[in-house]
Amino acid sequence: MELERLLGRGPVLYSRHLLLRCRFVVCVQLRLDSADVSNGASRLRHVSNGMAGLPFTATTITDSPANREDAQEIHSDGGDKDWILNRQKCYVNVLEGKGRGVFASQAIPAQTLIETSPVLLFTKEEYEDHGRHTLLDHYTFTWRDGRMALALGLGSLFNHSGQPNVSFSIDSARECITYTSARVINLDEELCIFYGHKLWFDPVDDIVYTSNSQRGTSELNDEADPWGGLARIQGNTADLIAGTPTKLHRKIDELVEEGGLPFTWKKLALQKEEEHIDDIELVQAWVVDIPEQKHTATMLKWLKQSGLDGDSLSHLKRIRRQGPSSSLLLDTSQVPPGLPPGICLGAPYQLPIPCHPALTETSLRLKNTFWPTVFAPKRKWEPERWTWGKIRWASDAMNHLKKESVKATTTGELPIVAYVPIPYEDDAQLSRPFVAHDTRTSTRHPLRHAALNVIRKVADFRARQLPAKAAQEEASKNGTQYLLTGLSLFITHEPCIMCAMALLHSRVKEVFYLVPMPKTGGCGGAVCVPSLKGVNHRFSIGVWKHSLDEGHDLPAALASEIDA
């Protein structure tokens, strides 16, 4: 009976749909056995803040080793072992202000598969007519094809945090979601995912709860965050959870005038109109001839699949036609990229191509003599329009930096910290934030600057995200493992010239810093690297206003001058 009560009143279990999927029923039954039948003390955890009135008896929902063996036996019969639930022995507990949450009953190493939750999928119409008006609306999220999904099992009980310790990815083929630890998770720590930037409830966020309901300050950010914070999960989850934004979020999409921004954009020297052949900035690129027209479309498709169609060459046409044959622009790497087998192609060769689009007709004519170029007459330096939501996101990143830099002073390192948050607009680009300190002192290595350290971390992470085969292919390409394409970097001190160059080479989208470095800075201090002639990428630079206000609001660690 207790089992029925537990399941019947839970948010997702015991539905008609569930019973239709016998594979899931097996999983759930295992969960029941472990949750209720076992008396093992290690598998029972009582909620310290009172059991009465709770919608279930708080127990572990983990399976004992014995049960896991059972599970494997069942699944070894042609089944898929990845479907075994609760592999990391998580348990459920109730939290003030949050409801139930998922907790670790043992330390979980980083990058560990925690859970694979099957999902129930509702058509848009079915959901609109029924689900949306029920409790389900707190548990569902938008699936890739627009249907509404409900994660079964543990998947529906992960609460939200702006600094999640769990990332997830959607497996469309198997109709499930996998949850993976984004860092080491401690015993009794709550496991949280990131729902998105637009929440429909006021989050109790950035507070680490333990099973005995003690509150502790989050290692990353302990300020209440009405808009959800900085981080996110894997997969396409900008709109992860369907919900109605509350009044807190009314202004989130409102645009803010440039004067209202908490930083000042540094104006890069405007791109010169290259109207003389000697003024045209060129870079060497790999090109391959396609002798037969019929292969052109195949090659363009291959270019896309191989990831060579990135932004850096978007100011150029990819195909140049000359008589019956055409040539395909590949990339600007040091070595020629591998070409698809089975298609009759020439050997790749290098050509100088324009670095920028054509701003005038004269420049277009000249540039076309090198390679067909895009005509973009109005393209001037136009600042991106920011919303309140994005300002909040950036402010959180800066607050996080300040705290980290104070921490650095206690370890004897220079107080320089770099931070790459999950992007605000396209959060599918990076599923978790990264922070790195300057470690020149402890490592006695002059190149261990915070910016370089964080580039390395992001690159390693992105490389790990690639499937093994793709990773091998990617690894052979110049630079692909350390790209910050599409990402924003927040840093306490203006990056030095070396770091600015590395950021440029990494294709970072924008850099924000607190403390200008007039003697050594590469983002406007000593030099402005992205404004230099000949560079093949430019990034935007924002100088945080606090830093201009005579150190106001800056921790002491950042207010004092450093020689770095």
Ligand X SMILES: C[S@@+](CC[C@H](N)C(=O)[O-])C[C@H]1O[C@@H](n2cnc3c(N)ncnc32)[C@H](O)[C@@H]1O
Helices 22-32 and 65-76: angle between axes, nearest 10 degrees: 160
Helices 450-465 and 497-505: angle between axes, nearest 10 degrees: 20
> Which residue number places its CB atom closest to ligand X?
99
Q: How far is the CB of 160 from ligand X (least distance, A)?
A: 4
Q: Cβ of 37: how many Cβ atoms within 10 Å?
A: 13
Whole-number Å distance between alpha carbons of 169 and 371: 40
**Cα dihedral angle (484, 490, 491, 492), rounded to 10 degrees?**
180
Q: How far is the CB of 26 from ligand X (least distance, A)?
A: 23
Phi-psi region of 261 (alpha: psi -120 to 50; beta: other; left: phi over 0): beta
Q: Cβ of 257: how many Cβ atoms within 10 Å?
A: 8
| 82, two tokens | 């990845």
Angle at 238 between CA 232 and CA 241, to 5 degrees: 90
Answer whether 169's CB lies under 8 Å from 176's CB: no
Q: Which residues bind ligand X (CB under 6 A)?
A: 11, 97-101, 138-139, 156-157, 159-161, 201, 203-205
Q: How far is the CB of 182 from ligand X (least distance, A)?
A: 16
- Residue (202 or 279) nearer to ligand X, CB: 202
φ/ψ of 207, rounded to 5, equals: -120, 130
- Residue (101 or 354) nearer to ligand X, CB: 101
Strand 207-209, strand 215-217: pairing = antiparallel
- Residue (94 or 489) nearer to ligand X, CB: 94
Whole-number Å distance between alpha carbons of 445 and 112: 31
Q: How far is the CB of 149 from ligand X (least distance, A)?
A: 12
What three-state secondary structure class fits 166?
Answer: strand
Q: How far is the CB of 394 from ligand X (least distance, A)?
A: 21
Q: How far is the CB of 165 from ligand X (least distance, A)?
A: 13
| 537, two tokens | 């990428």
- Residue (99 or 551) nearer to ligand X, CB: 99
| 115, two tokens | 């859970």
- Residue (101 or 389) nearer to ligand X, CB: 101
- Residue (157 or 451) nearer to ligand X, CB: 157
- Residue (72 or 246) nearer to ligand X, CB: 246
What's the sign of the alpha-carbon dihedral 512, 515, 516, 520?
negative
Contacts of 193 (CB under 8 A, 6+ apart): 158, 159, 160, 161, 164, 166, 167, 168, 179, 233
Q: With CA atoms as reference, report the closest residue to 530 among 335, 356, 303.
A: 356
Whole-number Å distance between alpha carbons of 104 and 91: 6
Q: With CA atoms as reference, report the closest residue to 266 among 507, 453, 495.
A: 495
Q: How far is the CB of 282 from ligand X (least distance, A)?
A: 52
Whole-number Å distance between alpha carbons of 35 and 16: 21
Q: How far is the CB of 139 from ligand X (least distance, A)?
A: 5
**Cα dihedral angle (294, 298, 300, 302), rounded to 10 degrees?**
-160
- Residue (158 or 482) nearer to ligand X, CB: 158
Angle at 386 between CA 518 and CA 501, to 5 degrees: 35
Q: How far is the CB of 157 from ligand X (least distance, A)?
A: 5
Q: How far is the CB of 204 from ligand X (least distance, A)?
A: 4
| 525, two tokens | 């201090």
- Residue (200 or 375) nearer to ligand X, CB: 200
- Residue (205 or 331) nearer to ligand X, CB: 205
> CA 437 → CA 418, 419, 420, distances in Å?
6, 9, 12
Stated as kind and residue range, the H or E segment containing 191 is strand 190-193
Q: How far is the CB of 508 from ligand X (least distance, A)?
A: 30
Q: How far is the CB of 47 from ligand X (least distance, A)?
A: 12
- Residue (139 or 263) nearer to ligand X, CB: 139
- Residue (98 or 249) nearer to ligand X, CB: 98
Q: How far is the CB of 247 from ligand X (least distance, A)?
A: 16
- Residue (147 or 379) nearer to ligand X, CB: 147
Q: How far is the CB of 374 from ligand X (least distance, A)?
A: 45
Strand 99-104, strand 90-95: pairing = antiparallel
Whole-number Å distance between alpha carbons of 344 and 361: 36
- Residue (182 or 483) nearer to ligand X, CB: 182
